[in-house]
Amino acid sequence: MYESYKFLRVERVDGIVTVTLNRPEVKNATNPEMHRELERVFPEINADSEARVVVLTGAGRAFSAGGDLRQMQEGIDDHGRWIEAMGEARRLLSNLIDVEVPVIAKINGHAVGLGATLALFCDITIALNEAKIADPHVGVGLVAGDGGAIIWPLLAGHARTRLPLLTGDAITGAKAAEWGLVTEAHSAETLDDRVEEIAQRLANGAQVAIRGTKRALNMVLRQQLDAMIDAHLGLETLSHLSEDHRAAVEAFVAKRSPVFTGR
C-alpha cells in the first residue's frame, strides 16, 4: 500500500500516515502529476483500516510553494488541461476534508498558494514561527479561487484576511497563530516534537469519538465548500483568460516585474 506515488512519499507507522510533498528541488511546488496524486491519496487513506491520523508535510525546508509557475504557460496554451485541473482541485479539497481520521498539517516551511490552501484545510495546523503563509494568486493575475477565499475568512475572519488575499502578501506562522488562521506556531527546535505529541495522542484515542467529532466539526466547512467552490473556480477560470494573467506569466519567464493593464 502507498507505493504507487512519484511526487508524494507516503508511509504508515503505528497508525500515523505521513504524506510528504516530495519535490524539494522546487520547494514542493505542485506539477500536474503531484496534483493528481494528491487527489487520490486521501481516498486511499480512507480505505486503510489501520490509519488513525494523517500528518501532511513537505520535504526539505518548505511545505509547498503552490502551483509550479514554470508550467503556467502550459495552462495558457492548453485550456483543456486548465479545465481538468479545476476539476481535480475541487475533488482534491473535497477528498481532504472527507478523510475520516484527523489530518495534521506540519507547516515546516513556506506554504504558498495551493500549498497554503492544502495546509489550512487540514484539521490541525502546526506551523513554523518563521514560515511564510500566503495566497498570492492576484500577483499572477488570478482569482484566489481554489479554496483560499473560502478557508482564510472562515478561520480568521473577513476583516483580517481581506488584505492578504487582495494583495497576496504573506504573514508568518507566528502571526497566523495569533490570528487563529493556524492552530499553533513553534520554533524549529520544537515543531517536530509537538506534531508527534498530537499525532500520538490522536492515534491512541477513542477512534469512534474522534472521527465523529471531526465529522461534526467539518460540517460547516463542507457546506461552505459545496456552496461556493464551483463559483470560485469559475472566477479563477475567467481570470486565467485575462491579459493580466498572460502578462504575469510572460514576466515570470523573462524574470521581470509584470505590468498589469486591467484587462
Closest CA to 93 of 215, 230, 257, 225: 225
What's the average model confidence in pLDDT over 149-156? Answer: 98
- Spans of all domains in the chain: 8-189
Sheet with 111-112, edge to edge strand ranges: 111-112, 132-134, 171-172
- What secondary structure, in 3-state letters, does 75-101 show? HHHCHHHHHHHHHHHHHHHHHHHCCCC
Instruction: Summarize pLDDT for 48-88 with one digit per residue, the tens.
Output: 999 999 999 999 999 999 987 777 777 788 888 889 999 99
Residue 126 near residue 109, CB atoms below 8 Å: no
Region of poorest pLDDT, from 59-68, 122-131, 150-159, 181-190: 59-68
200 burial (CB, 10 Å; 0-12 / 13-18 / 19+) is middle
Hey, what's the cell of 141?
Answer: 493575475
Closest CA to 236 of 111, 119, 150: 150
Structure pTM?
A: 0.96
Instruction: Summarize pLDDT for 1-47 with one digit per residue, the tens.
Output: 888 999 999 999 999 999 999 999 999 999 999 999 999 999 999 99
Residues 8-189: name the CATH superfamily: 2-enoyl-CoA Hydratase; Chain A, domain 1 (3.90.226.10)
